[in-house]
Chain A
Amino acid sequence: MPRTTTSRTRPRSAPTAPAADDAPSAAQELAFYRQMVFIRRFEERAARAYTEARIGGYCHLNLGEEATVTGLMSALRAEDYVFTNYREHGYALARGIAPERIMAELYGRSDGVSKGWGGSMHLFDLEARFMGGYGIVGGQLPLATGAALAIDYRGGDEAVVCLMGDGTTNIGAFHESLNLAAIWKLPIVYVIVNNGLGMGTTVEEASAEPELHRRAAAYRMASARVDGNDPIAVREAAATALASARAGAPFLLEAVSGRLKGHSVVDPARYRSREEVEAARAADPIAGYAARLLESARLSEQQIADAERDADRAVAAAVAFAEASPHPDPETLFDYTYATPVPNDSRRRPGEALFLAMPAASTAASVNGATA
């Protein structure tokens, strides 16, 4: 019986990869390089601010993941949606959100992308269709799947990219989401960023099928594995995956890269051997990409110096903006509990009484606790 649940009567677009199939121009390669350097410097600066206690909570960095970030985000259209986990600063930057507003969010300031309500793990910007970093492993998968359902419901041409770490492929939400996307033919690309480690547990220890992209087979879903240290390869793989998704065939893409530091800023990663760390450094995507471009004279030492100088300046400006941004006003504490105002919504501060202890002159006077 033909499926009748999708609203689409024709494919969204031809299932061929768009311009990303073409060899990148020198300008594109330089732009990629500059973006990777910028993400690197932003994250290094965030780590410093964290150790200086300017940033609170948890802080997970994209260090070592810059090629994957850049390649993936460059394959998206402006109208596509991105859902990520809590290791997402780079994706937000590559999506075009102002670094000032991202740094301000890390600082917990009112000019942050989430107005200081989210922090490092919960960046969000509707205009950039950056639909959130999420702190619960796997939590973003059903949400992203539902966003793709909404696109399909309305017959739109957009796609959803849903990022996750390697450890996420063992959680139930991963399997439930891939199954839903496959049976409903949703326009979504799931991307596993495989850096070989959960926090300290390896993929081999945690996953009976360590070639994670193969798990798509259980849902008859197309999949591929790509070198996450090569931004051009990632972009091409993402373009193929997105074309498939737009045509109604969801896709599982696995990008393999290294993690240059611990799981989060405070993690010294003592569980890794010196050899493992050396190997990750040797595979540093930025150094590797620069070497390739230098070798073929598509990048100059001057351009490298310019990229680093510009990144440093932009990051310094972001920090200055964040430092100057006001802390959220405690008076706004109850502004975002409900979108639709509702009577009896509690606006009680921690120490306030719900009701006056003694009867007021006129009865039934409630204070503080409940307002209509």
Chain B
Amino acid sequence: MTVTSYRQALHDALREELLRDEDVLLMGEEIGRFEGSYKITAGLLAEFGAKRVRDTPIAEEGFTGAAVGAAMLGLRPVVEIMTINFSLLALDQIVNHAAKIYGMFGGQARVPLVIRTPGGGGQQLGATHSQNVELYYAFVPGLKVVAPATPADAKALMLAAIRDDDPVLVLENLALYNTSGEVPDDLEPAEIGRAAVTRTGSDVTIVAYSRMAVVALEVAERLAAEGIDAEVVDLRSLRPLDRDTIIASVRKTNCAVVLEDDWLTYGIGAEIAATIGDGAFDWLDAPVRRVAMAEVPMPYAKSLELAALPSADDAAAAIRETVDAVARRR
């Protein structure tokens, strides 16, 4: 067991896969000589050379699509898109091509592609650099979308994504890169499509992913001191969505709060709330609450940015209100 940062865990996964499989190559803007905007690929150009750690022009549609085409011929490209905001420039290649090629041609061509990209606000990067648009990809059958919250999951899900024969988008998070956690030395690839109960409890279910899954654990610890015993479900995989794990928890706790960094209306939390309505209606003792970003383009000024982003306090308040509502009902 080693304590490692989320950034280092991602780096280690990439390096191990480059060593393990000649067909693995990295592509993206400034990942080589510049070593990546967030330094995930630091040192890899020197170790593996420009053939396998390939700087691309600033052309997301072109290089993402080229990675799809290379994957169709059996390579296993790992594309870095500098932030998820820029992935919108490659939307056609991701949604209309990567996600469709296996099905549209009746299973004749596989697309073993990984797209790594961070989301997340809170860095004062303003409206176009602070979005959480993973929903756009989680909406699309044919894609797999994973969202690790811990260094161990970052590594295990990245290993799984690279070895998977389908296009997998790995949602990283700017605010998580410097967080640390234990990573087993002999870590195996995770199973894509499974959520995890990261804290057991009996009073309320907190459902979250990525950064908010970390916030959820912090809030749960804080509320434990107040006598609220929260269970935390970390989704880990946004597509496929592990509905059974969510429902099993809510049927036990009888109420739920969803924490998400994206916008509320039509967001990931809306799907979770609908799932709970489908699978735990008869067990619910309070409406499902969603704690999500304010529905504005992210402002630059720190005071406004803080007001827009969901915080641990926001989450704690919503959970207390939900538990109170359950108590009134009983």
Contact = CB atoms under 8 A, between A and B. Distances in A.
Interface string B208-233: 00000000000000000000000000
B278 interface: yes
A344 B62 contact: no
A246 B97 CA distance: 26
B196 interface: no
Contacts of A150: 69-70, 72-75
A52 to B, nearest CB: 25
A58 B165 CA distance: 30
A5 interface: yes
Interface string A354-371: 110111000110100110
A115 B106 contact: yes
A370 B244 contact: yes
Interface string B43-69: 000000111001011010111111111
Contacts, number: 204
Interface string A102-124: 00000000001111111000101
Q: Which of A125, A172, A183 has the most CB of B within 10 A?
A: A172
B89 to A, nearest CB: 9
B320 interface: no
How many of chain A's residues touch chain B, expressed as a range? 35 or more
B108 A125 contact: yes
A118 B106 contact: yes
Contacts of A149: 66, 69-70, 75
Which 3 residue pairs are nearest across A and B when measured between Cβ atoms?
A142-B65, A146-B69, A176-B62
A126 B108 CA distance: 7
A146 B59 CA distance: 13
Interface of A: 4-7, 81, 83, 112-118, 122, 124-126, 131-132, 134, 136, 139, 141-151, 153, 172-173, 176-177, 179-180, 183, 335-340, 342-346, 353-355, 357-359, 363-364, 366, 369-370
B110 interface: yes
B65 A118 contact: no
Nearest to A151: B73
B166 A340 contact: yes
A239 to B, nearest CB: 23
Contacts of A83: 69
Contacts of B104: 114, 117-118, 122, 124
B244 A366 contact: yes
A355 to B, nearest CB: 4
Contact of B103 (A5, A6, A117): A117
A366 B106 contact: no
B141 A358 contact: no
A354 B275 contact: yes
Contacts of B248: 364
A344 to B, nearest CB: 4
Interface residues of B, number: 66
A144 B72 CA distance: 10
Contact of B57 (A126, A148, A180, A344): A180
A330 to B, nearest CB: 15
Nearest to A134: B97
Q: Which of A126, A144, A344, A346 has the most CB of B within 10 A?
A: A344
A370 B105 contact: no
B155 interface: no
Contacts of A342: 144, 164, 166, 192-193, 240
Interface in B177-192: 191-192
Nearest to A144: B69
Given A146-B65, A343-B193, A370 B243 contact: yes
Interface in B139-156: 141-142, 144
B313 interface: no
